[in-house]
Structure 1
Amino acid sequence: MTDEPWMRGLHTDTGYLLHRIGLRAGSLFNSALEQHGLRLRHYALLRYLATAEGVRQREISDRLGYDPSAVVGLVDDLQRLGLAERRPDPGDRRNRIVVLTRAGRDLLRDSDHDAARVTEQLLEPLGEEERRQLQRLLLRVAGLDPA
């Protein structure tokens, strides 16, 4: 099937390959996270909350690149699961911040193991140096290269 002309053309298109890999990675991650009642977007939000003492939903939207209305739903989901909660902002009582709960930290630790397993599955065909090189290249392409 990969020898068909239309498929060979797609396989020479880097953007298409990145898209396919993204779809596969998202599907694998979502399947692994499903056992926790989460999806990849929830995991990204938990991961971000773990680095902050509490953040406004607007900041979450800006940092993760999610639509503000989607963030409201994601935080609602996490709050319903007891993984995050909204609290009054100590700096401005008119606002609320989102914080990770103890249960959220525990689940994040467990889901980190799932994420590592999925990453290992995705990168199985590559050796260690190839994996490091791929990571460096992806950071550059994404505009996240610190160098």
Structure 2
Amino acid sequence: MAALGTDVQTPRLAAARIGSDAGLLLAKLHAAGSALNNKALANYGLRERSFSVLTLACSGLEPTQRELADFLGLDPSQVVTLVDDLERRGLVERAQGKQDRRAKIIVSTAEGRRWHTKARAVLDRAELDQLNGLTREEKHDLKRLLRKALWGAAE
């Protein structure tokens, strides 16, 4: 199987200097991955953003809506909409914060954790498809380097 996003013109155009631009390469990888992820999640009525919120709700870290917005790089109103939808479906709930009682934390329900486990499995398969041109070690290194670039932590 060809690497995701490849077509007849990609090798020729990738030779241009723009093909060495980290921002462009990350954007192209993200766009291709998002399309693949959204297709994989469709059977669960989820999209990448709602799955991200569900993942964080299942993490045990009890994020607030503000923390979700900041971490995911979304406008707070977008997070409200995503949480409203997941809550309406019985996958997450808003609860009183333990540290700040005024802040609402987002936690998964038992049903949300079941859905998350199933959806995580299909996303893992989608990731294998997307990164099929890399070895297991290269995939590990890619993720490590991305985390380091984002948060300055090597591991």
Normalising TM by the smaller chain, what interval? 0.7 to 0.9
Query: For residue 133 of structure 1, what is the aligned residue in structure 2?
Result: 141
- Conservation of the 8 A alpha-carbon contact between 2:65 and 2:106: yes
TM-score by length of 2: 0.81
Greater RCO (CA < 8 Å, at least 6 residues apart): 2
Output the CA distance in 2 between the equivalents of 1:20 and 1:134.
15
Gaps of 5+ in 1: none
Aligned to 1:63: 71
The residue aligned with 1:20 is: 28
Moved more, 110-119 or 56-65: 56-65
Q: Pick closer, same or farther for the CA change 1:106–1:17 going to 2, 3 Å.
A: same
**Aligned equivalent of 1:36, options 30, 34, 44:** 44
TM-score (norm 1): 0.84
Q: Percent identity?
A: 36
Unaligned 5+ segments in structure 2 are 1-8
Once residues 89 and 143 of structure 1 are traced to their aligned partners in structure 2, the CA distance between those partners, rounded to angstroms, is: 25
Query: Aligned ranges for residues 1-147 of structure 1 at < 5 Å?
Result: 1-2=9-10, 4=12, 8-9=15-16, 10-52=18-60, 54-89=62-97, 94-146=102-154
Distance 2:10 2:110 in 1: 48
Note the alpha carbon deviations across 1:47-99, whole angstroms, 9 max, x for none.
11112364432222233332111110000110121111223446666553322
Distance 1:54 1:143 in 2: 20
Deviation at 1:130, TM superposition (A): 1.8
What is the CA-CA distance between 1:123 and the residue it aligns to?
1.2
> CA-to-partner distance for each residue in 1:90-117, whole Å, 9 max, x for gaps?
6666553322111100000001101110
Does the CA-based 8 Å contact 2:145-2:154 persist in structure 1? no
